[in-house]
């Protein structure tokens, strides 16, 4: 049976937020968003990581409820949620609206590496390793 990592969630209105470590040194609070294709961090977090946004890997539009202007895309060395880790993940750098108290979004580019379940009664995100092929 695959290892299950149980990570506490914080409820913010109708949103679920989780604590994440990026590049092994910066803690961020991200909204878990199964509708977001990309991992997203705020410019403030990118600055704390020492990322120079003048030289991103590229630029793209974020598509969701609306469509953003072109935003920088950068590579993060390591993203860790609980004991679950994804290395070399691409992230968009974008400021979410101020009424959403978060440092970004934990989207499918991270979540798709795991079998994900939510235990709403205990406010827990469960990440299970996918079987090796």
Burial grade of 115 (CB within 10 A; 0-12, 13-18, 19 or more):
middle
For the residues 118-132, what does the mean pLDDT come to? Answer: 92
What pLDDT does 1 receive? 47
Model pTM score:
0.91
> Who has greater pLDDT, 133 or 49?
49
In angstroms, rounded to a whole number, what is the distance separating the alpha carbons of residues 130 and 133? 9
Q: What is the pLDDT of residues 60-116, one digit of tens each?
A: 988 765 667 889 999 999 999 999 999 999 999 999 888 888 999 999 999 999 999
Per residue in 21-75, pLDDT (tens digit) is 999 999 999 999 998 889 999 999 999 999 999 999 999 988 765 667 889 999 9
Q: How far apart are the first and last CA of the chain?
A: 14
pLDDT grade for 2, boundaries at 50, 70 and 90: low
In this prediction, residue 3 has a pLDDT band, given cuts at 50, 70 and 90, of confident
Banded pLDDT at 132 (limits 50, 70, 90):
confident
Q: State the Cα–Cα distance between residues 55 and 117, nearest whole angstrom.
A: 36
């Amino acid at each position: 049976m695959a290892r299950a990592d149980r990570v506490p969630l914080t409820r913010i209105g109708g949103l679920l937020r989780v604590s994440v470590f990026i590049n092994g040194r910066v803690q961020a609070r991200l909204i878990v968003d199964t509708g977001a294709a990309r991992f997203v961090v705020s410019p403030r977090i990118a600055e704390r990581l020492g990322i120079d946004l003048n030289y991103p890997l590229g630029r793209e539009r974020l598509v969701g409820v609306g469509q953003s202007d072109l935003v920088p895309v950068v590579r993060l060395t390591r993203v860790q949620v609980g004991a679950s880790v994804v290395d070399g993940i691409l992230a968009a750098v974008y400021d979410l609206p101020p009424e959403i108290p978060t440092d970004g979004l934990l989207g499918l580019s991270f979540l798709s590496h795991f079998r994900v379940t939510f235990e709403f009664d205990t406010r827990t995100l469960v990440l299970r390793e996918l079987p090796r092929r």
